[in-house]
Amino acid sequence: MRLLRLIPDDTNFGFMRFRPYAFALSAFIAAVTVVGFLTLGLNVGIDFKGGTLVELQTKEGTANIGELRTRLTRASVGEVQLQEFGGPNLVLVRYGEQPGGEEGQQAALRRVRALVDADYEVRRTEVVGPTVSSELVQMSVVGVILSIFAVLVYLWLRFEWQFAVGAMIATLHDVTAMIAFYVWTRADFDITSIAAILTIIGYSLNDTVVVFDRIREMMRKHKRLPVDELLDIAINSTLSRTTITATTTFLALLALYFFGGEVIQGFTASMLIGVVVGTYSSIFIAAPILHWLSVKSNEAA
């Protein structure tokens, strides 16, 4: 039985000739990310800045956002963010950390409940204090840094230093692109965003290692072949696998985005971007970096 081939076996696409454009595009993404981060910043969720989230559902009819906003001003909780989600009768209420610590947060929540109980049912509440939020920030940053460092050490031991540098640059590229997504779409950046970034790091690195394995194999077989030609052959030989993996993952995430509900929609949206970026970086960033670092065929012997 013939295996499914989305890409013909004799494909010979010249990926390396596009490396200047790929590097220019990635540099543009990095610049846009830095500018957006410095001017707009991340739309940090209550996981990282502390505060309260209340999910409301109307007892009858649709939600009146304007009237509800006016009503909640009497709760004296500061700026209140209201968002309709999942349907016209569902409202998400967010407000920041209150003075008085945990007791202040709970007192504010009781005032909010008292103002909405007549017309709305409280479906869910989340309260995050300042201590917990600061710990989450520290642990998240440390987790991302340690994961990248561990992968760098692994690739350095398994391959050569050029491969490790290429994988690290591609990984930083993926993280930068996902940060750009959160900055410019103003999507909430919370603990699930960190999970999405770590998942995409793993996905992208898996794809990169497959390509690197084939490159090393080709270097052992064709010691006199020019590096750019060798890289093109190696990438083309893994292109069918890369395409099938990326397509199936993307379709599964697309189904979750449309049918998985509002709770995981932000997570799946960032994962969709991450799959595209991770596939792109393993082909157009990680492999061309080897050419830039002048990796030699005899180094893979």
For 105-163, the pLDDT digits (tens) are 788 888 888 888 888 888 888 776 655 556 766 777 787 788 777 877 877 787 777 88
In CATH, the architecture of 51-128 is 2-Layer Sandwich (3.30)
Most confident of 14-28, 101-115, 153-167, 283-297: 14-28
Tokens 């965003």 found at:
193
For 40-70, the pLDDT digits (tens) are 888 877 767 777 888 888 888 888 888 888 8
Average pLDDT for the chain: 81
Structure tokens at 46: 């209550």
Contacts of 133 (CB under 8 A, 6+ apart): 46, 47, 48, 49, 50
Predicted pLDDT of residue 3? 54
Domain residue limits, the chain? 16-45+132-300, 51-128
Q: How far is CA 269 from the centre of its chain?
A: 8
In the chain, % of residues over pLDDT 90: 15
Integer-rounded Cα Rg, in Å, for the chain is 24
Q: Is the dihedral of CA 51, 189, 154, 205 positive or negative?
A: positive
Q: How far is CA 268 from the centre of its chain?
A: 9
Nearest to 16 by CA among 294, 288, 296, 295: 288
In the chain, % of residues over pLDDT 70: 89
For 178-236, the pLDDT digits (tens) are 999 999 988 888 878 888 888 888 888 888 888 888 888 888 877 777 778 888 888 88
Structure tokens at 207: 């794809």
Tokens 């093109």 found at:
232
Alpha-carbon dihedral angle through residues 50, 52, 53, 54, given to the nearest 10 degrees = 170
Residue 301: band (very low, low, confident or very high) from pLDDT cuts 50, 70, 90? very low
Question: For the residues 15-22, what does the mean pLDDT come to?
Answer: 87
Most confident of 102-106, 217-221, 251-255: 251-255
SS (H, E, C) 215-265: HHHHHHHCCCCCHHHHHHHHHHHHHHHHHHHHHHHHHHHHHHHHHCCHHHH
Structure tokens at 209: 């290692």
If you write DSSP's letter for every residue of the chain in order, what string do you get? -PPP-SS-TT-----GGGHHHHHHHHHHHHHHHHHHHHHT--EE-HHHH-EEEEEEEESSS---HHHHHHHHGGG--SSEEEEE-SSTTEEEEEEEPPTTHHHHHHHHHHHHHHHHTTTEEEEEEEEE-HHHHHHHHHHHHHHHHHHHHHHHHHHHHHS-HHHHHHHHHHHHHHHHHHHHHHHHH--EESHHHHHHHHHHHHHHHHHHHHHHHHHHHHHHH-TTS-HHHHHHHHHHHHHHHHHHHHHHHHHHHHHHHHHS-GGGHHHHHHHHHHHHHHHHHIIIIIHHHHHHTT--GGGG-
Predicted pLDDT of residue 255? 92
User: Has residue 296 got a pLDDT over 70?
Assistant: no
User: In the Cβ-directed half-sphere of 272, how many Cα atoms lie within 13 Å?
Assistant: 14
59, amino acid identity: K
Neighbouring-strand partners of residue 56: 91, 122
Question: How many other CB atoms are found less than 10 A from the CB of residue 155?
Answer: 23
Predicted pLDDT of residue 300? 44
- Domain 16-45+132-300 sits in CATH at 1.20.1640.10
